Amino acid sequence: MTSPTRRQFLQSSSTAAGSLSLASYVHAGNADARKTLQVALIGCGGRGSYLAGVFQSNPGVRLTWICDVDTRRLQNGQKLVRGPVKASNDIRKVLADDTLDAVIVATPDHWHSPAAILACEAGKHVYVEKPCSHNVREGRLLVESARRNKRVVQHGTQVRSTTMMIDAVKLLHGGIIGDVKVCKAWNIQKRGNIGKGKPGTPPSTLDYDNWVGPAEFIPFQANRTPSGWHWWYHFGTGDMGNDGVHDIDYARWGLGVDTHPSLVSATGGKFFFDDDQQFPDTQLVSFQYPGSGKTGDQKILIYEQRLWSTNYPHNVDSGAEFYGTGGQMFLSRRGKIAVYDARNQRIKVKVTPEAQNAPKHVANFLQCVRSGATPNGDIELGHLTTSLCHLGNVATRLGRSFQFDPETERVVGDAEADSLMSRPYRDHWGKPRGA
């Protein structure tokens, strides 16, 4: 049997989250319902440490491996594990263990897709932190690897498993505010200044060469390693990919668009911070979805970001406003919801407030590993959302709009923008297959 096409999968994925079976191209391998799942943690930083606790809180799960290229983090990671655990600074050694069922990828962004692809190719299921890729091409390669190897891959956008969000999206898709035409999402917070640094010598505890991995090599600099990498083109995806991806995800979900946009526009830049940060601290991005092309079928998703402010719409740092032909819905992953009719009168809804829920998301992943069912944050959905972050960052970086082909996943008529859909790689064992 041939694997479903991307278009076929997207059509099927528009039904209720987690309700489908991937049996035709995903199987649970040797992870039956009765055995203890053996899991590896790749990346022992803050997020990895948190996920270690969440995974271990589930019955029938044991962390048997931890991996990090920094020996200090590796030692700290060992303290998080309940029971004996193997440790390595080389993911290849971890993935060679045939008893391993799944891995958690909680590395810096530039390693997310390469590590997840290596894991899929080694026959492991994957929980990959957001954003699932460093660029659009990587994301597609990860989807293809998951399908080719019949692996369950869950993207770490945990709103997908939050009951409040599932119920709210059902209301939107059921027409509570009519035909939803526009959504404006925001991520507004006050970040710190990363300062200005100079190339230096990495600490003796850090294998910097493998920290860089398949990315082009640039010298060590203290304000980008081990934690400042979010703000560098080489390693991160800015705050749009770091935190805004969550809000973009439920914005896209509620808007009901299950493909890429065809037109991307953006404005912004560094309006506040005088430091080494390469990504913008101020950003306004618009994504246009033409639908069938007929009048009345178009939709727009707008994303706003300010990294120097504590003045939030609706008094919440992360949220989205959905505008339909019959009303408006305000929704936030912080556990807030409000619905209004066409005359701005409040509509009472039976939706229980609930903040984004990572434990539910992890539990959903583990259930799907055992059953082969579709995870709530399936990697195809993660790729579509993460690609918006990449497209928005590229448009902001270049200071211009561009057309995008949703089928080929290439920029149309703009060679410079199209070149940023991928990236150069050096000759390294972690280079993604097909890159």
Indicate whether 170 pLDDT > 70: yes
Q: Residue 311: is it exposed, middle or buried by C-beta count within 10 angstroms (0-12/13-18/19+)?
A: exposed
Average pLDDT for 71-87: 94
Residue 105: half-sphere exposure toward Cβ, Cα within 13 Å: 30
According to the model, what pLDDT value does residue 32 have?
Answer: 62
According to the model, what pLDDT value does residue 292 have?
Answer: 84
In a domain, 34, yes or no: yes
DSSP 294-306: STT--EEEEEEEE
Per-residue model confidence as pLDDT tens digits over 361-413? 999 999 999 999 999 999 999 999 999 999 999 999 999 999 999 999 999 99
Using 50, 70 and 90 to split pLDDT, how confident is the model at 14?
very low
According to the model, what pLDDT value does residue 12 have?
Answer: 39
In a domain, 266, yes or no: no
Average pLDDT for 37-66: 97
Indicate whether 13 pLDDT > 90: no
In a domain, 92, yes or no: yes
Indicate whether 30 pLDDT > 80: no
Q: Please give the residue range of the domain that contains residue 74.
A: 6-160+359-377
In a domain, 50, yes or no: yes
Average pLDDT for 49-78: 97
Q: Give the percent of the chain with pLDDT over 90.
A: 89
Q: Which long-range contacts (CB under 8 A, 24 or more apart) does 3-11 make?
A: 3/147, 3/148, 6/143, 6/380, 6/407, 7/407, 9/380, 10/258, 10/259, 10/380, 10/384, 11/258
Per-residue model confidence as pLDDT tens digits over 253-282? 999 999 999 999 999 999 999 999 999 999
Of 32, 50, 52, the closest CA to residue 40 belongs to 52
In a domain, 351, yes or no: no
Helices (H) and strands (E) counted in the chain, each on its own, are: 13, 16
In a domain, 115, yes or no: yes
Using 50, 70 and 90 to split pLDDT, how confident is the model at 3?
very low
Is-contact 290 301, C-beta < 8 A?
Answer: no
What letters, b where the CB count within 10 A reaches 16 and e where it falls short, cover 138-177? bbbbbbbbbbebbbbbbbbbbbbbbebbbebbebbbeebb
The 180-188 sheet, strands edge to edge = 346-347, 336-341, 327-332, 318-324, 180-188, 299-306, 282-289, 263-269, 402-405, 410-412
According to the model, what pLDDT value does residue 15 have?
Answer: 36
Our count of domains for the chain comes to 1
H or E element that contains 164: helix 163-173
Indicate whether 165 pLDDT > 90: yes
According to the model, what pLDDT value does residue 11 have?
Answer: 43
Average pLDDT for 278-292: 96
Q: Looking at residue 140, which CATH number applies to its domain?
A: 3.40.50.720
Indicate whether 154 pLDDT > 70: yes
Per-residue model confidence as pLDDT tens digits over 84-140? 999 999 999 999 999 999 999 999 999 999 999 999 999 999 999 999 999 999 999
In a domain, 131, yes or no: yes
Using 50, 70 and 90 to split pLDDT, how confident is the model at 26?
low
Averaged pLDDT of the chain: 93
According to the model, what pLDDT value does residue 310 have?
Answer: 96
Average pLDDT for 68-72: 97
Indicate whether 1 pLDDT > 70: no
Which whole-number Å values give the CA distances from 14 to 145, 252, 254, in the listed order? 22, 12, 11
Measured from the Cβ of residue 81, the count of other Cβ atoms closer than 10 Å reads 19
**pTM for the whole structure:** 0.93
In a domain, 111, yes or no: yes
Indicate whether 7 pLDDT > 70: no
Average pLDDT for 234-243: 98
Indicate whether 354 pLDDT > 90: yes
Which has the minimum average pLDDT: 31-40, 189-198, 277-286, 377-386?
31-40
According to the model, what pLDDT value does residue 428 have?
Answer: 96
